[in-house]
Amino acid sequence: VSTFRVQAISRHRFSTDGKGITTLVGLAGCPLDCKYCINKKILHTGKVKDMTPEELLSKVIIDYCYFYATGGGITFGGGEPLLQSKQIIEFIDILPTNIAVNIETSLNIENSSEIESIINKVNHLYIDIKTTNTKVYREYTGKNNENTQTLLNYIVKNNLQAKCTIRIPSIQNYTTKSDIEESIKIIKQLGFQDIDTFEYIIKD
């Protein structure tokens, strides 16, 4: 039986992680090493809880009436939730109706049929691309962004842009105004309409 590695679950979130009231399920593990990551300490402590998809469902179902009423549901964040794509697919397959599933991701994952399956099944993807400047991306995350580009191209090829919000943050000491403008320009050229720009706030 596959199991989720859960960092945390946060209930009753109001439109911060998707439409309506959502429950945020933070999954452990991330391929990136972002300099300002809020969850870095948690990600490296190994303090996670293993849950089967059914066990997770039996916990989050407690707020079913709110999901039903507001069009909300479950948002998988982390960490990088797509590292646990198999578990998410199993979870979606046993999910009652009227519960949305959203993913917060960097898309910096090796492409696979499971990833493509998730992209097709979820209600919405919040994709934090950081920046399209590959040099800056590597400096900030410690990784290159080829995987992100590949999966963005998959989304474009399958005309799934409408279910995506692209996050382009201003990253202090890393991205410049022109970096951000160039990222927005490229993302718009790919057909994405929903672009969220904001400033990372640095934890001391």
Partner 1 sequence: MGLFNKKEKQDDFQIDTSKLRMDEGAIFGQAVPTSEFSKDNSFGNGYNQSFDSFGENSADLFKNIQKGHKEKCEELRKIRKNMATTLGIPSVVRDEPCNYNGHCSGTCPACYMEERALMDRIYELSENGMINLMYSKEIKDLENKIEHDLWEASVFEGDMEGEIADGFGIDDNKDTDSTEETKE
Minimal distance, residue 191 CB to partner 1, in Å: 23
Minimal distance, residue 166 CB to partner 1, in Å: 13
Minimal distance, residue 91 CB to partner 1, in Å: 9
25/187 with CB nearer partner 1: 25
Of 198, 132, 118, the residue nearest 160 (C-alpha): 118
Q: Contact 187/168 with Cβ under 8 angstroms?
A: yes
3-class SS of residue 44 = coil
64/153 with CB nearer partner 1: 64
3-class SS of residue 69 = helix
Angle at 121 between CA 180 and CA 116, to 5 degrees: 65
Residues in contact with partner 1 by the rule CB under 8 A: 6-14, 16-17, 19-21, 24, 26, 34, 36-39, 41-42, 45, 47, 49, 53-54, 57-59, 61-62, 64-66, 68-71, 75, 77-79, 90, 93-98, 104-106, 128, 169, 198, 200-204
26/73 with CB nearer partner 1: 26
176/191 with CB nearer partner 1: 176
Q: Which residues contact 93 (CB under 8 A, 6 or more apart)?
A: none
Q: Contact 127/150 with Cβ under 8 angstroms?
A: no
